[in-house]
Structure 1
Amino acid sequence: MVRRSCIVGVGSYLPAQVLTNKDLEARVDTTDEWITQRTGIRERHIAAEGEHTSDLALAAARQALERAGMPAQALDLIVLATTTPDHTFPATATKVQAALGMTGGAAFDVQAVCSGFIYALAVADNFIRSGQAKNALVIGAETFSRLLDWNDRTTCVLFGDGAGAVVLQAVEGEGTNDDRGVLSTHLHSDGRHYDLLWVDGGIALGRSGFVKMNGQEVFRHAVGRLAEVMEETLAFNGMDASQVDWLVPHQANRRIIDGAARKLKLSADKVVITVDRHGNTSAASIPLALAAAVDDGRIKTGDVVLMEAMGGGFTWGAALVRM
């Protein structure tokens, strides 16, 4: 028998404030038409003053646990992916742990920017596969709007805030692709491209800084790297694109999503899109999109779901899951 991680609950949270493209027209030199055509984004959610990443993460976590029918005390592990922690330390995951009333196990953050959820899922999955955990909570949560220069029209129109979470539970199976669970995860990075998408701040610089991006180069790398890692993931599992029920991509840019799907010859009706409503929520985007598709009934038990993301660093990765 083979031990795998099965997704038994999903949850999400979006701040109440919605910032539309029309709203941005009044703040920066841009237009609704330009933003929509270039990115596919129409609106995004912005955290309220005093609403922290841990608050968003906690709301998504509670919903995921409720849907899993699992008390927080049953968790062995929390892995929280975020680029925007509440504090430099301790880990935001420990704040969520305390708020949930989980007093055992371990809780920590991972930082891989927009690839963060895939990285966190891989970490938790490996804990479960190795027998070090039975029940794990994986969260992607961001207040990315606080890293934006609202005078920079090339970046401030792209990002939003939110959180998504999944509960993983250890299951025993035959180890075939027909078993439910995380079939495989695949992670990559290439630090040579560090300065194509980054924040010009940090401890070493003594300031928090703002997002800086070379959009054309990020786009070029993203389409190629994402297609490669999706092909790698399917080949590892002896599958092809026709066996994928749903692609849940990182919601960065509609043109990147469409380009990667075309390279894999995936039908557009198999791709979950939320970028129009959420913008780019970094590590939160995949679990937010997954939760949206589970909530509306598109993704069902037994479906094969391919998830992929690329983020600053560059980091990128993919996961194949049978729900």
Structure 2
Amino acid sequence: MTEQEKDFQASPNGFTREYYKKAIAALNIDRPQLAMEFIARVLQAQPENTGALTLMAIAALRNKDLAQAEQAVRAALRLDPQSCALHLLYGMILRRRLQLSSARAEFQRAIALDPSHPWPYYFLGAIYLSYPVPLADEARPYVYKAVELDPEDAQIQALLARQAIADGNLALAAQAYRRALALAPQDATILSDYGDFLLHRQVQPQEALHVLKEAIRLDPNDKQTQKRLLKAIRAAHPLYRPIVSYRAFLRQASQGLRLGVGLAASLFTCIAGRLLLSLTRALSDSSLASRNPLLSNISLILLCLGFFIVSPYGFLLLYRAVMAPLLLFLIKRGWIK
């Protein structure tokens, strides 16, 4: 037996308090796996410690270990079935596991236990708004009740913005997003959602690009923000504007004109390329046979000319495919603004 184990047996409460404090500190520095290890030590000594079980569920949820989180919160609920906070936590875990009907039931139990708690209303509203076709009528009473109970929370204001979008009230949505960002200006998720709102709902690509750049700076690894920023780059970034102008021309032109221009360009490319290739090959053969450097230079010039005649469309396709991802990479690294 180690000296530490002897000390633990002599004074278990002191050691459990220390491990409990270390677990909280680990969560505060975003180390959920380490927090779980510390809490496991506490639960070895006190397996029916409701606070430790709750903390284990929170740490496991942050660590994306949903099975462990559910196991811990269910154990805590057996010890304290009348806890609003535990039913709320259990609902959050079930929501992450996509068991939405069970999650809604847990949030309803939390409301029954404490009707003044805003977060069960928040999550019920968020569930109804998360469907592919948002259930705005079902979500509305929960969203507005959450706002009534805690109007100064940024996440609740952001949910109000989503509700307003589902209701078609874009003015209220813009107001709610601005209020949310005034409360939490460094929240990458709210910035990303606001940028998407500006891009698709208010058609303000320049403003959306600015907001999404800030969101990707705060959270460079968020996949959804990356996709949204790519769309904003394609819509508004100056280096991508030639592609936008080209697409605008194609949209405005009639179908017959687009077809005619495309056929003419393809025919010209094929004919000019074939003629220049034949001429270049003939001159090259002649220069090799006569050992004439002048003919070699002319054939090289014609080859370059043919390359510039035939390749613009290829350059356009390459530019279109590469430029937006390249700009996203450079913006994430902070090398361009």
Indicate whether the TM-score tops 0.5: no
What TM-score does the superposition give when structure 2 sets the normalisation length? 0.24
Say which structure, 1 or 2, has more relative contact order (CA 8 Å, 6+ apart): 1
User: Would you tell me which structure has more helix in proportion to its own residues?
Assistant: 2
User: Would you tell me which structure has more strand in proportion to its own residues?
Assistant: 1
What TM-score does the superposition give when structure 1 sets the normalisation length? 0.25
Q: Which structure would you say has the larger Rg?
A: 2
